Amino acid sequence: MKIDRWTRRATLSLAALTVLLSGCTTYVTTQVTAFSDWNGSDATRTYAFTRAADQKNNLELSTYERVVANELAPHAFRQVDAAQARYLVGLSYGIRSDMVTVAEPVYYNPWPGPYWGRPFDPWGPWGPYPAGYVNQSYPIYTHLLGVRITERTTGKEVYNVTARNSGGESSLVRSMPYLARSALADFPLGNGVVHTVKIPLDQNGGSSNEVAVTGVAPAAPASGAKAVQ
């Protein structure tokens, strides 16, 4: 889906607010979009990861495959050799950076102290007063993970899910556990579903086991993830 410039500007402005509040943020919020033809009749979900020819020795992709494998396991998926797998799982991923500008107020105090105001109000009736606004620019990073599941023997696509979040985190590696858990949090989603997943941070900055899913809605057409090679 092509996003018009006003929608994109609003999205980036909200992301900028997230960056400003990141010191007190305790959740990572991810939007998940799924397209599904999953029948749910298989008793054993065996799978193998599939790669493009130029990705055979990609260490970054190997790292992300392990993260996704950990999230597939609770849904009865078992990784096997490709020749014995019922499903092939392909990953796509990427990160994009933008700069957003936010107008922030600047204050001044025309009444230098000492003076006393009302209880618990050290400024009293005098100020400070807004002197105007200055533009501050902040980096915003959008992280993306796509998980595509096909039947090995027929090549039929049975599940395609995309997870996307934005914020001040510049590392895709640190964002990947949240993307993978969000993408597979409620597997399998129905066809054409969009929902929001909130995952709390633990004390060490990692993801906790608690997952909150909100805002389930029919999906609008989504652009595919581009693999990073």
For 138-157, write each residue's pLDDT tens digit.
Answer: 789 999 999 999 999 999 99
State the chain's mean pLDDT as an integer. 78
For residue 183, the one-letter residue type is A
Strands 212-218 and 45-49: unpaired
Q: Is residue 113 part of a domain?
A: no
Domain count, the chain: 1
Beta carbons of 161 and 222 less than 8 angstroms apart: no
pLDDT band at 74 (very low <50, low <70, confident <90, very high): very high
Q: Is residue 36 part of a domain?
A: yes
Q: Is residue 117 part of a domain?
A: no
Q: Is residue 47 part of a domain?
A: yes
Query: Is the model's pLDDT at 24 over the cut of 70?
Result: no
Query: Is the model's pLDDT at 14 over the cut of 80?
Result: no
Please name every residue paired with 91 in a beta bridge, in sequence order, or none if there are none.
Answer: 147
Q: Which of 9-18, 35-44, 114-123, 139-148 has the lowest mean pLDDT?
A: 9-18
Using CA atoms, how far apart are residues 126 and 161, in angstroms rounded to an integer? 56
Length of the chain: 229
Using CA atoms, how far apart are residues 145 and 178, in angstroms rounded to an integer? 10
Using CA atoms, how far apart are residues 10 and 29, in angstroms rounded to an integer? 17
Q: Is residue 228 part of a domain?
A: no
DSSP character string of 10-59: HHHHHHHHHHHTTTT--EEEEEEEEEE------S-EEEEE---GGGTT-H
The pair phi, psi for residue 62, each rounded to 5°, is -60, -40
Q: Is residue 131 part of a domain?
A: no
User: pTM (2 decimals)?
Assistant: 0.69
The pair phi, psi for residue 160, each rounded to 5°, is -145, 115
Query: Is the model's pLDDT at 95 over the cut of 50?
Result: yes
CATH of the domain at 11: 3.30.160.670
Query: Is the model's pLDDT at 50 over the cut of 80?
Result: yes
Residue with the larger pLDDT of the pair 42 and 70: 70
Q: Which of 42, 50, 62, 64 is nearest to 181 (CA)?
A: 64
* Rounded percentage of the chain residues whose pLDDT exceeds 70: 66
Query: Is the model's pLDDT at 73 over the cut of 50?
Result: yes
Residue 229 burial (CB < 10 Å; 0-12/13-18/19+)? exposed
pLDDT band at 108 (very low <50, low <70, confident <90, very high): low
Domain that holds residue 82: 5-101+139-218
* Rounded percentage of the chain residues whose pLDDT exceeds 90: 50
Q: Which of 139, 150, 142, 108 is nearest to 31 (CA)?
A: 142
Q: Is residue 123 part of a domain?
A: no
Helical ranges in 39-196 per DSSP H: 59-72, 172-183
Coil, strand or helix at 111: coil
Element at 9 (helix H, strand E): helix 5-20
pLDDT band at 27 (very low <50, low <70, confident <90, very high): confident
Q: Is residue 203 part of a domain?
A: yes
